[in-house]
Amino acid sequence: MASENQHSVLKVTNLSIGYSHKKKDTVVAQNLSFELNKGELIGMVGANGIGKSTLLRTLTGMQKPLAGTISILGKKLEEYHPLELASLLSVVFTEAPASKNLSVLEFVSLGRQPYTNWMGTLTPNDKEKIDWALEITDTQKLSQRKCFELSDGQLQRVAIARALAQDTPIIILDEPTTHLDLYHRAYVLKLLKKLTKETEKIILFSTHEIDLAIQLSDKIGVLTTDAFYFDQPCKLIEEGKFNALFPEDIILFDAKTGRFTIKD
């Protein structure tokens, strides 16, 4: 193992994802293999319903894989105790917190749960981590606001702050740019980029913002109906993989500009 890539943290081998229902398996995607290294920002792109969410749910342990393995730091995902896993992997879901009555500070500090005692008492170290998370996402000023008072852009930043407070080497975000305007989409993705560089965290996000993902991600996973491609964005462009994303009747990928254009 040591002879392999030393920066590898998360490794996926021959993964099949999908749903198992009454002994019948519905395969959404299969033969996925990739490796995530320290400090990488990874985008997952794919058409609606192609299985991005299923993949993310499987990677976070919310859903069992149909076949293949996911391992973090050499240990299989399912062998981790829930609490142990919570200190390695944090998730930002698309949904807002169920209780909108939570204050931003309360929301973010819940990220410390895997580390606190049975009463949830915060130590000075916990508070330091929370302050840092609020600061780096520029949300300190919001800390006393209630979640229902926030705009979508603010809420997304706060959700990221919560994941940062959880202090994990891996963060997985499910479509962090939905509901946001162009400025905030770029803001959120740039923030993620900055975090990977400054903290060496692995940040994986699914998105529909293909052009933004190409500009910022270190690697991109492209989920299509037939195959899964995983590489650096420039290589994927060279090989013309992005055209496999959608049916080619309306839009085409322009390799020069790195974005989709309407077909004449």
Binding interface with another protein (CB under 8 A)? 60, 62, 81-87, 89-91, 93, 95, 97-103, 105-107, 109-111, 113-114, 116, 118-120, 122, 127, 130, 144, 148, 166
CB of 61 or CB of 233, closer to another protein: 61
Q: How far is the CB of 118 from another protein (least distance, A)?
A: 6
**Nearest approach, Cβ of residue 181 and another protein (Å):** 25
Q: Which is nearer to another protein, 134 or 210 (CB)?
A: 134
CB 91 within 8 A of CB 174: yes
Residue with tokens 């999908």: 18
Smallest gap, in angstroms, from Cβ of residue 205 to another protein? 15
Q: Report, in Å, the least distance between residue 82 CB and another protein.
A: 4
**For residue 114, with 0-12 CB atoms within 10 Å meaning exposed, 13-18 middle and 19 or more buried, which class applies?**
middle
Exposure string (b/e) for 183-212, b if CB count within 10 Å is 16 or more?
Answer: ebbbbbbebbbebbeebebbbbbbbebbeb
Cβ nearer to another protein, comparing 89 with 203: 89
Name the helix (H) or strand (E) containing 44. strand 41-46
Closer of 103 and 199 to another protein (Cβ):
103
Residue 61: CB minimum distance to another protein, A:
8
For another protein, the closer of residues 84 and 211 by Cβ is 84
Cα 43 versus chain centre, distance: 8
Name every residue whose Cβ is closer than 8 Å to that of residue 63 and which is 6 or more positions away in sequence.
Answer: 17, 19, 54, 57
Which of 257, 12, 213 lies closest to 222 in space, CA to CA? 213
